[in-house]
Amino acid sequence: MVLAPDSAAGQASAGQAPVIGVSVHYDVGFRSEPQGRTGFAHLFEHLMFQGSESLEKLAHFRHVQGSGGVFNGSTHQDYTDYYQLLPSAALERALFLEADRMRAPKLTEENLANQVDVVKEEIRLNVLNRPYGGFPWILLPPVLYSTFANAHNGYGDFTDLEKATVDDCAAFFDTFYSPGNAVLTVAGDLDVDRTIELVEKHFGDVPARAVPQRPSFGEPLPTSEQRGKQTDPHAPLPAVALGYRLPDPVGEIDSYLANVVLAALLSDGDASRLQQRMVHQENLVVDVHAGAGLMGAPLDARDPDTFTFTAIHTPDVGVDRVIGAIDEELDKLASDGPSEDELQRVTARWAASLHREHDRVVSRTLDLGSAELLHGRAEMVSELPDRIGRIRAADVSAAAKAMRADARAVLEIEPENGGAE
């Protein structure tokens, strides 16, 4: 359990709203779903909003919204989170709701069939019927990784989703949704002693169950460049993604953070190296991005995690020129590193964005919960700005040097019609 009051007294100070965030992170993401059940972790996230043994369908929605709050959930590589943001007076209601569905969600044929259809429609909207849908987080892993856990489509295959049964759901809940496999976080305008009393009141009688042994999803690094191609019927222009393995975000966090800084130097803002060269000076691409973290955010997964480049370019430029420009910028940073001014600008900007993000109660709640679950240290969240500030030019140079062409994945996206004229 993680408790993070706004002040030592547990009262909202001047300028702070009297609100609380409540989240539960379960140690199961789409890397944990069984083979032949792609998309199951995400499907189960939907089922957790379909009522419980003591509350009817949609009751969770009514209780949160009736209190003036908002709620949601999301499925990641290594965890699934659920959260509420409410007025602080509604703290007990939020704790009751989370404990209630941790105790026994309503798993029925009707709910399952309904949510399979909802998830399929979500996939159609976000992936199948959208330009560059699933690019790169669904399409790149099968090129870079070889194991089912790391390479499969976490959104799910329609055939696998349709084969899911209520018994599958019950087994998944019993295996992964035990209290010992979860982290409860409460942040914001709270009184610590009163919050602990309420947690014990509502979670104290949730039956304990065995906690599954956490598997390692590690696999060997590629020994050669891996290439793949996909046709996108909706894409107006060709695109390319490059994928590299990152240092272990838990065991090698400072090396990992050097890659976060590297990504910012390369593509964060108009002054970044790739934006300046590839967009403004040489007009090679219409969009380019570098990022640490497969799902678009750093420190969001255990090992292995992925550094990605994505670029959308015109057919006349060609993929080799795009990759060549990225490689040249990496070589420059590997040999010379960033200037001190460049490094300070990027690290200060990143640290400021962390402070700004954590001014929002819901972001602070979710980040504390994921840090506790993934790293065993919720306090790591407050340490990140200082750790980022300690990254030196030599650290960034080493990160760039590790981006080897003979150990990466290259995914090309080709428009079905050959691209824009």
Which domain CATH number covers 18?
3.30.830.10
* pLDDT at position 9: 41
For residues 357 and 410, state if they share a domain. Answer: yes
In a domain, 43, yes or no: yes
For residues 65 and 188, state if they share a domain. Answer: yes
In a domain, 290, yes or no: yes
For residues 268 and 185, state if they share a domain. Answer: no
β pairing state of 182-188 and 2-5: parallel
For residues 199 and 235, state if they share a domain. Answer: no
Closest CA to 202 of 170, 177, 179: 179
In a domain, 420, yes or no: no
For residues 188 and 263, state if they share a domain. Answer: no
In a domain, 215, yes or no: no
* pLDDT at position 7: 64
Closest CA to 7 of 192, 210, 258, 262: 192
In a domain, 118, yes or no: yes
Residues 185, 4: Cα–Cα separation, whole Å: 8
* pLDDT at position 419: 53
For residues 187 and 245, state if they share a domain. Answer: no
- DSSP class of residue 189 equals S
For residues 119 and 258, state if they share a domain. Answer: no
Residues 362, 364: Cα–Cα separation, whole Å: 5
Q: How many domains does the chain divide into? A: 2
For residues 127 and 234, state if they share a domain. Answer: no
Helix ranges (H only) for 78-206 are: 91-103, 109-123, 141-144, 148-151, 158-163, 166-176, 192-203
In a domain, 36, yes or no: yes
For residues 396 and 317, state if they share a domain. Answer: yes
* pLDDT at position 14: 46
For residues 244 and 319, state if they share a domain. Answer: yes
Give the count of beta carbons closer than 10 Å to the beta carbon of residue 165. Answer: 10
Q: Phi first, then psi: what are they for 172, rounded to 5°? A: -65, -45
**Cβ atoms of 108 and 173 closer than 8 Å:** no
In a domain, 37, yes or no: yes
Give the residue numbers spanning the domain of 286: 226-415
* pLDDT at position 11: 47
* pLDDT at position 418: 61
* pLDDT at position 296: 87
For residues 96 and 181, state if they share a domain. Answer: yes
Helices and strands (H and E) in the chain: how many: 16, 10
Residues 228, 72: Cα–Cα separation, whole Å: 35
For residues 82 and 134, state if they share a domain. Answer: yes
Q: Which of 203, 236, 267 is the last residue of a domain?
A: 203
Helix ranges (H only) for 296-360 are: 319-336, 340-357
In a domain, 283, yes or no: yes
Those residues of the chain that have pLDDT short of 70 are 7-16, 418-421
